[in-house]
Amino acid sequence: MNILLKSAKIIDKHNESLHLKTRDILIKDGIISKIAAKIEPESKTQVVKHKNLHVSIGWFDSSVSFGEPGYEERETIENGLRTAALSGFTDVVLNPNAHPCPDSSSDIVYLKNAAVGQPTNLYPLGTLTMKADGNDLAELYDMRNAGAVGFYDYKLPMINANLLKVALQYVQNFDGLVYSFPLDTKIAGKGIVNEGEISTKLGLKGVPTLAEELQVVRDLFILEYTGGKLHIPTISTANSVKLIADAKKKGLNVSCSVAIHNLVYTDSVLDEFDSIFKVMPPLRTKADAKALLKGLKDGVVDFVTSDHTPMNIEEKRVEFDNASYGTIGLETAFGSLNQLLDIETVIDLLSKGRERYGLESPILKEKQAACLTLFNPDETFIFNEEHITSTSKNSMFIGAEMKGSVYGTINNGNYTSNN
């Protein structure tokens, strides 16, 4: 299949010869054949024209959950990857948020096979411990050989410090990446929202920032002792940014991410007890969101994520205390992040992170495989349920203004389009 992109403005600050230039791009059988000021379409070529068309390398998301296997009513792998493609993402890392959770090589093979032929590439995480129960290490080496790009007991802290130590030492034999969710459960107790003025006013049990920061300090001390590669997912506090910045100055091999909703929203939205805003880590204060955004700009926070977490309506439309955590975020990742930062920074953030997982980053140049995202950075609209392609509709962004829309992606030889 041949595709010709007409008058596409290229956003790729790592490619000085093409960055901010408007070019035609010809793609033949999945390979970028020609990039020039003007290219005439050949026969049997699909010509793609869009208003204010921009193009970048395909976007990457380090934290998505679907449902399959076990929770297919939330989201299947097939529809989840289609949603990712329509949202601009050509590559996603899949959380081990399923039942049964993937803790063996055969589980990883199943997930990889389920994604074959889909418009977005799927890279699964395996659990760090068997059944994600925190007691015994899972089959880390075998899962790595089967295609797992890291090891994570999804949203569960590693309570046993010695087990984290052993894991960090063990994975150095094959350059594995260990996740540690930043939450001290003893400090957090039964808290469900950020501890502070808002939680006190609403009478909701709070999760103090200390619960995150104590765990971050512990994990960084262990990493300094063991060596290895550590990833701290979805941090949410200003002090976590500072702690990780200090660790990086020491030369520790640590990375971290932040969920886009923790940049956009604060605990002030909880006034009406709407469980759509119940997430973990919880929405924090304006000062925390500001520090996280600054951490992104400074490079302390390595990448952003949608932290896409589909949930059935029955799991959300209950009392706040009993509601499940999570919001979907793939469809709104670009439009919400683009409200906060300039377009070049947004595209850089949405494109980076692959190297941390041992994946090659695509290159936008002739004779390279076409892995592209097509978008309009200037269109504004109000996000509503009609814009959701996920099976679950639990988005905290419904009713929010978006800046920027995605036309689609070109990946694996196919053009997946919203039009």
Structure tokens, 285:
């204060």
Q: What is the mean pLDDT of residues 21-35?
A: 96
Residues 53 and 8: their CA atoms lie apart, in Å, by 5
H helix runs in 173-208, sequence order: 185-188, 197-202
Mean pLDDT of all residues belonging to the chain? 97
pLDDT higher than 90, residue 93: yes
**Can you give the pLDDT at residue 167?**
98
Contact 373, 409 (CB under 8 A): yes
Find the Cα–Cα–Cα–Cα dihedral 390, 280, 255, 132, rounded to 10°: -90
24 is catalytic: no
> What is the percent of the chain with per-residue pLDDT over 70, rounded to a whole number?
100
Q: Confidence band (pLDDT; 50, 70, 90) for 1?
A: confident
Fold of 2-55+365-378+402-417: Urease, subunit C; domain 1 (2.30.40)
CATH code of the domain made up of 59-357: 3.20.20.140
Which residues pair with residue 375 across a beta bridge?
54, 406
Q: Which of 298, 307, 321, 348 is catalytic?
A: 307
Contact 213, 240 (CB under 8 A): yes
Helix, strand, coil content of the chain in percent (nearest 5): 35, 25, 45
What are the tens digits of pLDDT across the range 150-175? 999 999 999 999 999 999 999 999 99
Q: Confidence band (pLDDT; 50, 70, 90) for 237?
A: very high
Identify the burial level of 148 via C-beta atoms within 10 angstroms of its C-beta, where 0-12 means exposed, 13-18 middle and 19 or more buried. buried
Contact 284, 266 (CB under 8 A): yes
pLDDT higher than 80, residue 419: no
What are the tens digits of pLDDT across the range 310-366? 999 999 999 999 999 999 999 999 999 999 999 999 999 999 999 999 999 999 999
Contact 93, 61 (CB under 8 A): yes
Residues 162 and 143: their CA atoms lie apart, in Å, by 22
Helix (H), strand (E) at residue 33: strand 31-36
pLDDT higher than 80, residue 212: yes
H helix runs in 317-413, sequence order: 333-337, 343-351
Q: What is the mean pLDDT of residues 291-303?
A: 97
What ranges do the domains of the chain cover?
2-55+365-378+402-417, 59-357
Q: Confidence band (pLDDT; 50, 70, 90) for 209?
A: very high
**Can you give the pLDDT at residue 43?**
86
